[in-house]
Structure 1
Amino acid sequence: FKQEGIVDKSSYERITFKLNNTYFLTKNIKLGNFVAITPYKQQNAPNVTYSAYRARPDLVPYNQNGSFAEVFNVGNPLADLEYSNNYNKGVRGVGNLFAEATILKNFKAKTSFGVDAAYNQNISFAPAYFVSPQQQNLLNTLNKGNNHNITWLWENTLSFNKQFGIHSIDIVSGYTMQKASSESFSMTGKNIIRTSPDFWYFNPNYVYDPNNGVNTLGSISNGVDPNQNFSMISYLFRANYTYNSKYILTATYRHDGSSKFSSGNRYGNFPSFAGGWIVSKEHFMENLPFMSNLKVRGSWGIIGNDKIAYDKQYSLTQTMVTVLGSPPSANSAITYSVSGNPNLKWESTTQSDAGLEIGLFKNKLSGEFDYYNRVTRDILIPLSTPDYLGNGQGAKVDFNAASVKNSGLESKISWKDKIGQVWYNITILGSTLQNKVLKVGGSSGIDSVLYGGYLANGIPVTQSRVGLPIGAFYGYKTNGLFQTATDLNAYPHLSTAIPGDLRLVDVNNDGKIDGNDRTYIGSPIPKFILGFNFEADYKGIDFSFDIQGVYGNKLFNAKEVVRPDPYNWEKHVLGAWTGPGTSNSEPIASYGGNNYLPSDKFVQDGSFSRLRNVTLGYTLPSSFTKK
């Protein structure tokens, strides 16, 4: 696989080797293995799209002598590309070994051991260059780093399956263990004497510090990825019971333990139950021959989540110097840098489902319809803490401090048939989603509203608060433009507002415009998701395509909020207000100011439909492949 990026100096290439084998030692003993090894290499381009977007379109990127021209306040994106050299290379290996034995006819034991290991090396080199006082690198810089991580999973299960007349029982019990670990190492040096790629490595002879005349490295660091160091054990049980091939009951139970939580909260219990009734197999359905299948089903269950860094339960310390004693003297001391939370526990999601399956005309027409209600409690989120804990300004600690509800309908309708020698299948999928925050923040009201989507100027444009969707857009509502000074004085406005500016709505009716008037202005979550699939086959020639669409979601065009420059503008600014009555939607052209505060002016419809995939294939006849 090889793919070039949309920006120069961006690419990705990989090769995958796979091996999959199954061996039967005896009639009742089976062994198997799976191995996949993937070496890869990647070139990473710097983030030049933003500077290219902001730069004056009429500027020539080069001077007459061929050097890179200065692009005021923005930086020359072509120079950024030229002087950037950033590469990743590595290998990932995934493997699994299993053994399975049938015992006493109805019992089956299986053990499997899997490993997922990866090694990655990053090399970044920037030569010495000067484009402008704002775009320069006085000393060439080399950074090299590597990291490796490994995760292993050992699963052991014992299953029992037996038919007792019209009764069928299937039971599985098991025990699993998992462990993940990682380590990283990086080095940085400046003013490397030999700068060609063949010498992008560290050697005391090739790294020179002109300030003290000795060979040195700029920095060395090593550490671990806190998201890749943990262990887990699980006990699991599942029982299926079927009566007369019509009534189905399922019960499952998991007892999971994670090292990410302290000993008192390490384990969580997660049960679930499901039931189904195949109505079409009842005698009273025999008078409805067109009804091929009719099934009702329902389920209820709880699942757990521990997806936080392993060290969130621990407090981290730092050294400091304090003055104590008489006479006063400086003394070393230790204090918290970040407080841990030993009371963290499993996040849990409780979900209820009710569904209907239907098939008509020998299942040519089929449909599935489901309603789901999912409530996630004790969500693990970082919250601000009181200053007296000594965490430092802006430091946050993880808590189980939020609840969210998701509910909606899911449907799938298919028609499959054959016309002559052409077989075809048409499938339509649709789903709705309602998302609502039920609880957020600490018991003392800290972070009762969570802000996010911070712009480059530090202003947030999303909020999660009770009663609204997660990540709802948050800003000012607008109501046209101020056309005249009289118009301006007739409405509450910011003190710096002028004719031609957006008229911000006084949402709380307190007679002034301030941050308290920012409110809900849209949700990024779609109200409806649609899918369409078509498949056809004719004498070994197969054709398919997929269409995907989402509707009812909003987008916040953040790039327009943070990009007001005197260098480049969006095309719609050509219709800007230039006097009373010239526009009531596009404000006066300005460099920053009130018109670039987060508002519904920048909220756009995010609905779309797209052709996701088209496939055309041909399958060779079996008579040919058997030769």
Structure 2
Amino acid sequence: MRHFSDKRKTVATTLLALLLFLQVFATYAQTATIRVTGNVTEKSTNAGLPGVTVQVKGTTLGTTTDGAGTYTIQAASDAILIFSSIGYTSQEVAVGNRTSIDVALADDNKTLNEVVVVGYGTQRRADVTGATVTIKGDELVKQPVLTATQALQGKAAGVQIISSGQPGSSPVVRVRGTGTALAGTAALFVVDGVLTDDISNINTADITNVDVLKDASATAIYGARGANGVVIITTKRGASGKMTVNYSGNAGFRLPANLVTMANATEYANYVSTASGNLVTAGPTSTDWYGQILRTGFQQNHGLSISGGTDKSTYFLSAGYFTDQGIVIDNIYKRFSIRANQDFTFNKVVRAGFSASYANGNNQIANLNTAYNNAYRAAPIIASKDANGKYGNTSVYQNVGNSVLDIEKNNNLAIDNRLLGSAYLEIKPVSWLTYRTNLGGDFVNLNSRVYNYQFNNDTTTFITPGGNQRNPNSNLSVGNTKTFHWTFDNLLTFNKQIDKHSLTVLVGTTAEQYTLTSVTAFRKDVPAAQNLWYIGTGNANTSTNDGTGDKYTRNSYLSRINYNYNDKYLLTATLRADGSSRFPSQNRWGYFPSVGAGWLISNESFMQSQHIFDLLKLRGSWGRVGNDRIPSDSYTVTVQPNLAYPFGGGVATPGSAITQIKDPNLKWETTEEFDLGLEFSALKGRLTGEVNYYDKKARDLLINVKVPSVAGDADGVVLTNAASIRNQGLEVTLNWRGRISNDLTYRIGGNATLNSNSVIGLNGGQPILDGGIGANQQYTTRTDNGQPVGSFYVLQVLGVFQNDADVNSYKNPAGQVIQPSAAPGDFKYQDTNGDGKIDDNDRVFAGSYQPKAYFGLNLGLTYKSLDFSVDVYGNVGNQVYNGKRAFRQNVLDNVEKTMAYNRWTSANGSQTEPGANSGNLPASTYFIESGSFARINNATLGYKLPQRLTDKIHLSNLRVFATAQNILTLKKYSGFTSELVGNPTSQGIELNAYPTTQTFAIGLNAGF
């Protein structure tokens, strides 16, 4: 046994030694390198290419070719070499024990052959004759935002994104200026073929790319929906092959980006004492009211997707969870979303598929309508809350409520469930003919609940009893709104290539219907316990109910011809006929044509000998699009019942009356646009750019016109087509990408848009006065001929009266003292019409919120596995109205720190800041400030784990990153934010705006 055992040990030892030898040999074979040399040339000219990166795949080993295109590198015999250079198609070549490898790189024609999405189809980028821009989803997902449109900011010329920091809110998208006054201004979104006005339900990580159609030639195929631009969202699809799993997520916190510093207790007491003439003493309390209602908010965003398939069926499934706590107390938004996209290929003739997404949004909304304004005005000498939870009673001291109570005693919850989907069937009986039918639907169910707690102005609620801030009865409002929008498209596409002629013809029909139903209910005395917040638990004697609804339909016929001759001369023509139930029968149909032409100069024979331009294209277009976004009953005269009318003796008799005058001949708002553009790619794709000029005129716009009051109690105005607006602009986009070494590459891009907006004809319509603030400033804007929409219309401040002599010497030519009741420290206003008094007739135009220019700058740097990017965004030439200052209405209202320190006194003689005052100032240029700003919109630093390491942990990719939004804003405006959403005729007034936020987050992208 011992002999046998020893023999067995000998054999085992021999085998172990052999295995070790083989391992050492294998290791030596793997690590042994050979010297490889070669020459890299340009395929079309056979000339040597300098600066080509030659890298060993899966490693950081690499080199670059010299001036003649030659290289030398050490590589393992089983290694793979990657040859890459900007402007050329990369190649991978196995070494295979060779010591000499020559490679010819071909031009990268991505610029020419890139496929972009256009209305109801796709085209080669080179064949497009309209103004479009494409942004890849990979660029958008880097930012921790709710919607893709927020991440678009600064990335597309001609596209202005106005974003709010409020959780759950969608940004405003303006394409080439504001083209309407009273009708809808929102851009049209098309998600996988479904038309919608909101994409807050779409997870950005699910998006492949966003295509923005800007000019009438590109948007005319959408007819009545295209006047404000079209944003096409394409979500991810599966690909045949093994299943892949991807995770993307980030988490971080949000802070207010810009705070307004208010006067502290001492500064406040000094200011108010001077303004009122009564001594106000600062006590031990100095409350920062904004500090009491603002906080650091937490945000997180997670997405998980699975994709794969076979040659017969592919799939893409995803789930996402997004939370934004917001920077205002008691404010949080949550969204859960799922998506399923699937495509089936039955045979060479028939394909089908569907896209479906569901999203649940839960929005706990903070009561900012009063809280924000009260925080600005509240006296800092009052505490917000004591240790026992009782509130400081600001209304005892002044006519302003406690902002903390405003928020905490109001519970506003909105829950929406949204299902968006489409299904298609595609039949291709022959190679040149395709029939496609697409049915899409968008269903939203919104439930809202607002509960206001009961509280009295006694010691159970307040530290000090009294005042007027109270709610003697709790109350509950609930509502349910359901909307359903379906679209049904049937399209036939003819595509034929004959010699040098390429022709694509699209014809089809599309129908859509929108329905809305809404009901609300209200009751008082609902119990405070949250599980009892139901209408049935309240006082039935206080119950009120209401309801409304809407329904409209559209039916359309569309056609488009795309013609390409010899890849040099391009022609696109479209015609769409739209019928809308929102107009009377005689004006129901609108016809929207467009034509575009392009010349691929770079493909001409006389350009073949040059080596500067890879692509040079000149294009021009003209087209008309429409806008039917008006209330469905705008042309129908309605009678309001149950109105009381006093007859003789003062007895009120119930009856009915016409309360509105309506135009029975309303018609489409029509936008006509001319566009001229030059696109180029130069220096092997290193430099790309585009220049566009556009002239966009919107006519037959809806506006109110005064008419004699001849029927019942009509208000004497009628909504009719009686205005025109013009936007003229220039767009410039330039991008450069380069390589400093084999490890270091960079990119830099920028875009700028110059836009001039003006009302060019009211045609008998009355100027629109809007933007009222408080009782003393009933309007601050005027939309009128020759001015931008929503221009500020206010008194001109000339300075500050320094003394009584200054007041008495301010006279008109007739010798009248213009402001006899003024005192030193009061504003001196311009007597514009010279009538010796200051009133509304002295107002002047003082700019508008419409920017004269907006721009974006995008930088990127990659060093080995590290990547860094910075995005800058801004606009110039617009004005903002500081509505917070204008709303001061009481001598005891607080003031900003700068107002307290810079106010006029007889000692400093300020000409820009008035003396201590009680508020209630008239609308003037004092409240108008520059809205120009430049902001570092996003900065991201990432690290991608090398492939050799991800292979070891069985991942296909892994990237970690840190990102920051709104790091720095350069601005002149003294308020919270100069980015303000609102109606065109009153936009640009900061009153209760949610501040923009800074976000700092870390994230992870991983593939399995």
Q: Secondary structure at the match of 1:53?
A: helix
1:426 to 748, 760, 766: 748
Mapped to 1, the partners of 2:678 and 2:530 lie a distance apart of: 63
The question of whether the paired residues in 2 share the 8 Å contact of 1:57 and 1:568 is answered with yes
Change (3 A) 1:195 1:576: closer
1:143 to 477, 493, 518: 477
1:273 partner letter: V
The answer to whether structure 1 residue 558 and structure 2 residue 883 are counterparts is yes
The question of whether the paired residues in 2 share the 8 Å contact of 1:339 and 1:391 is answered with no
The equivalent of 2:374 in structure 1 is 51
Mapped to 1, the partners of 2:535 and 2:613 lie a distance apart of: 74
The answer to whether structure 1 residue 93 and structure 2 residue 416 are counterparts is no
Which structure has greater helix proportion?
2
Mapped to 2, the partners of 1:244 and 1:66 lie a distance apart of: 79
Deviations 1:527-578 (Å, cap 9, x if unpaired)?
1211111234455654322110111111111211111532311223322222
Deviates more, 1:371-380 or 1:75-84: 75-84
Give the alignment of 1:115-130 within 5 angstroms. 115-130=441-456
Give the alignment of 1:259-274 within 5 angstroms. 259-274=581-596
The equivalent of 2:806 in structure 1 is 487
Deviation of 1:368 after TM superposition, in Å, equals 0.7
The equivalent of 2:85 in structure 1 is none
Give the alignment of 1:116-265 within 5 angstroms. 116-131=442-457, 132-192=466-526, 194-203=527-536, 206-208=537-539, 215-216=540-541, 218-224=543-549, 226=550, 229-265=551-587
Q: Secondary structure at the match of 1:13?
A: strand
2:627 to 274, 289, 305: 305
Change (3 A) 1:328 1:351: closer
Mapped to 1, the partners of 2:924 and 2:645 lie a distance apart of: 47
The equivalent of 1:460 in structure 2 is 779
The answer to whether structure 1 residue 285 and structure 2 residue 607 are counterparts is yes
Deviation of 1:619 after TM superposition, in Å, equals 5.8
Q: Secondary structure at the match of 1:16?
A: strand
The equivalent of 2:10 in structure 1 is none
Mapped to 2, the partners of 1:122 and 1:259 lie a distance apart of: 29
Which structure has greater strand proportion?
1
Mapped to 1, the partners of 2:389 and 2:434 lie a distance apart of: 74
Deviations 1:428-448 (Å, cap 9, x if unpaired)?
10110111110126x3xx51x
The equivalent of 1:401 in structure 2 is 722
Q: Secondary structure at the match of 2:405?
A: helix
Could you say which structure has the larger radius of gyration? 2
The answer to whether structure 1 residue 471 and structure 2 residue 471 are counterparts is no
Change (3 A) 1:328 1:577: closer
Q: Secondary structure at the match of 2:375?
A: helix
1:365 partner letter: L
The question of whether the paired residues in 1 share the 8 Å contact of 2:882 and 2:927 is answered with yes
Mapped to 2, the partners of 1:292 and 1:331 lie a distance apart of: 81
Higher RCO (Cα < 8 Å, 6 or more apart): 2
The equivalent of 1:212 in structure 2 is none
State TM-score, norm by structure 1: 0.92
The question of whether the paired residues in 1 share the 8 Å contact of 2:661 and 2:714 is answered with no
The equivalent of 2:57 in structure 1 is none
Give the alignment of 1:526-605 within 5 angstroms. 526-538=851-863, 541-565=866-890, 566-573=892-899, 574-579=901-906, 582-592=909-919, 596-605=921-930
1:338 to 651, 660, 670: 660
The answer to whether structure 1 residue 103 and structure 2 residue 429 are counterparts is yes
Deviation of 1:513 after TM superposition, in Å, equals 2.6
Deviations 1:241-277 (Å, cap 9, x if unpaired)?
1111000011001101111001100010000000011
The equivalent of 2:392 in structure 1 is 69
How many residues align structurally?
A: 607
Mapped to 2, the partners of 1:589 and 1:323 lie a distance apart of: 49
Change (3 A) 1:422 1:64: closer
The answer to whether structure 1 residue 520 and structure 2 residue 845 are counterparts is yes
The equivalent of 1:352 in structure 2 is 674
Deviations 1:453-476 (Å, cap 9, x if unpaired)?
111225211111111111111111
The question of whether the paired residues in 1 share the 8 Å contact of 2:661 and 2:718 is answered with yes
Change (3 A) 1:382 1:591: same
Change (3 A) 1:162 1:423: farther
The equivalent of 2:315 in structure 1 is none
Change (3 A) 1:158 1:65: closer
Mapped to 1, the partners of 2:650 and 2:736 lie a distance apart of: 86
Deviation of 1:618 after TM superposition, in Å, equals 5.5
Q: Secondary structure at the match of 1:15?
A: strand
Deviation of 1:197 after TM superposition, in Å, equals 1.1
Change (3 A) 1:560 1:15: same
Change (3 A) 1:389 1:540: farther
Deviation of 1:611 after TM superposition, in Å, equals 1.5
Deviation of 1:3 after TM superposition, in Å, equals 0.5
- List alignment gaps of at least 5 residues for structure 2: 1-321, 458-465, 812-817, 957-1006
Change (3 A) 1:469 1:322: closer
Mapped to 1, the partners of 2:835 and 2:851 lie a distance apart of: 33
- List alignment gaps of at least 5 residues for structure 1: 209-214
The equivalent of 2:345 in structure 1 is 24
The question of whether the paired residues in 2 share the 8 Å contact of 1:355 and 1:371 is answered with yes
Mapped to 1, the partners of 2:875 and 2:668 lie a distance apart of: 32
The equivalent of 2:110 in structure 1 is none
Change (3 A) 1:130 1:323: closer
Mapped to 2, the partners of 1:605 and 1:339 lie a distance apart of: 40
Deviates more, 1:427-436 or 1:566-575: 566-575
The equivalent of 2:821 in structure 1 is 496
The equivalent of 2:333 in structure 1 is 12
Deviations 1:166-197 (Å, cap 9, x if unpaired)?
011011011000001011111111123x4311
Deviation of 1:494 after TM superposition, in Å, equals 2.7
